[in-house]
Amino acid sequence: MSVVISEVKTALPGFALAVIIAMAASFITDHYGGPTVLFALLLGMAFHFLSSDSRFAPGIARSARTVLRLGVALLGARITADQVAALGWQSLVGVALAVVATIFFGAALAKMLGMKRRVGILTGGAVAICGASAAAAVSAVLPRYPDQERDTAFAIVAVTSLSTIAMVLYPILAKLLGFDAVASGIFLGGTIHDVAQVVGAGYAVSVETGDTATIIKLWRVALLVPVVLTIAILGRRLVPGDEAAGKAPLFPSFLIAFILLVAANSLGWVPKPVAAGLSDASRWCILISISALGIKTSMQDIAKVGPRAALMMVAETIFIMLAVLVLIYASGHSGS
C-alpha cells in the first residue's frame, strides 16, 4: 500500500497539470467553439519546458499512456450491438472495408514517400477510425520507435484539423451530390474523422442524417478493437528480437475492458445514466492524456515531421472519402 501511495504522490503534480490544461481546453471550446482535442494539445505544448522537470515528468508520462488506455476502454459505453446491427450488413461490411483499405493505403504510401511504415499505420488508423482517439490507441500498441510521440502528436494535430475542415465542407458536398438523409449520414459518418465533428455535421443537415452519421461513426469506433489488436499481433511478429522491449502486449487490457463494456451495454446491464457518465469520463480521460502528450511534444519537433507526412494524411483523407462514395453508389443509397 505504501508503494502505491508513493507512486500516486510522485505522479500527482504532472497529472494535475494535465487535468488543468484539459479543463482550460474544454473552457475555450464551451465559450468560443472549436476542437477541444486540438486546444488541449496546443496548450500542452506551451508547457513543454516542464516535461523534463523531475517533479512533473512521472505524472505526465502516466497521463499520456495509462489515462489514455482508460479513456479508450470507456469508449465502449457509447456502443451497443443493436446500434451497429441496425445499419445492415452491407453498410457495415462496406465501412469496415474502407477502414482497412485506408490503413493499408497509409502504410503503402508511407513506404513510397520514404517514411517508416509504422507512421503510415498510425496516420491511416487515425483517419480511418476515430481521429485523435485512434491515433493515441494505435500508438499505444505500435512497437516503440524513435520520434513516436512526435509523430503521434503530429497525427492528432493533422487529423483534428482535417476533420474540422471536413465538418464544414462535406455537408455541402453531400447536398451537391444529391444525397438523401440516409446517404448523407453514411457519407458524413464514414468519412469525417472525429466523433464530435461527425455529430456536428450530421445534425446540421437533419435529425435523420445526424442519427445515421452517429451510428456509422460508432461502428468505426467499434472497429478500433480488431484493428488495434491486429496491429499489436503483427507488431510483435514483425519486430526483430532485439527490439522486444518495445513490443506492446499481445492483447492489451484496455481492449478487453472495451469489449466487456460494449457487451454489458448491449445486454442492458449498464443503466443509461451510468453509460452517459462513462462516456463523459472517456472524453475527459482522452483529453487529459492528449494534454499530457502535448506537454511532452515541442513545436520544433512537430515541424521536423515535414510536408511528406502532411501530404500523406491529406491523401488518406481523400482515399477514405472516395471509398465511402463508392460504397454509397454501389449499395444504391445515394437517393439521386
**What is the average pLDDT across 159-164?**
83
More confident site: 33 or 245:
33
Concatenating the DSSP letter of every residue in 154-201 gives HHHHHHHHHHHHHHHHHHHHHHHTT--HHHHHHHHHHH-SSHHHHHHH
**What is the average pLDDT across 31-59?**
87
Say if residue 97's pLDDT is above 90: yes
* Gap between the Cα atoms of 201 and 168, Å rounded: 7
The pLDDT assigned to 246 comes to: 45
The pLDDT assigned to 333 comes to: 62
The pLDDT assigned to 7 comes to: 81
- Beta carbons within 10 angstroms of residue 29's beta carbon: 18
Range with the lowest mean pLDDT among 104-118, 204-218, 257-271? 204-218
The pLDDT assigned to 330 comes to: 85
- Beta carbons within 10 angstroms of residue 260's beta carbon: 12
Q: Report percent pLDDT > 90 for the chain.
A: 30
The pLDDT assigned to 141 comes to: 83
Judge contact between 57 and 51, C-beta under 8 A.
yes
More confident site: 184 or 294:
184
pLDDT band at 243 (very low <50, low <70, confident <90, very high): very low
* Gap between the Cα atoms of 186 and 194, Å rounded: 15
The pLDDT assigned to 65 comes to: 78
- Beta carbons within 10 angstroms of residue 222's beta carbon: 25
Say if residue 239's pLDDT is above 80: no
Range with the lowest mean pLDDT among 20-24, 33-37, 165-169, 173-177? 33-37
The pLDDT assigned to 191 comes to: 94
The pLDDT assigned to 236 comes to: 61
Rg (CA), the chain: 19
Range with the lowest mean pLDDT among 136-140, 260-264, 325-329? 136-140
* Gap between the Cα atoms of 152 and 249, Å rounded: 19
| Per-domain boundaries in the chain | 2-331
Q: Report percent pLDDT > 70 for the chain.
A: 90
Say if residue 33's pLDDT is above 90: no
Q: Which of 139, 144, 143 is nearest to 159 (CA)?
A: 139
- Report the mean per-residue pLDDT for the chain: 84
The pLDDT assigned to 99 comes to: 93
Say if residue 163's pLDDT is above 80: yes
Q: Which of 15, 89, 88, 28 is nearest to 295 (CA)?
A: 15
The pLDDT assigned to 240 comes to: 47
Say if residue 202's pLDDT is above 90: no
Q: Which of 12, 40, 41 is nearest to 26 (CA)?
A: 40
Collapsing DSSP states into helix, strand and coil, what is residue 80?
Answer: coil
Range with the lowest mean pLDDT among 120-129, 229-238, 267-276? 229-238
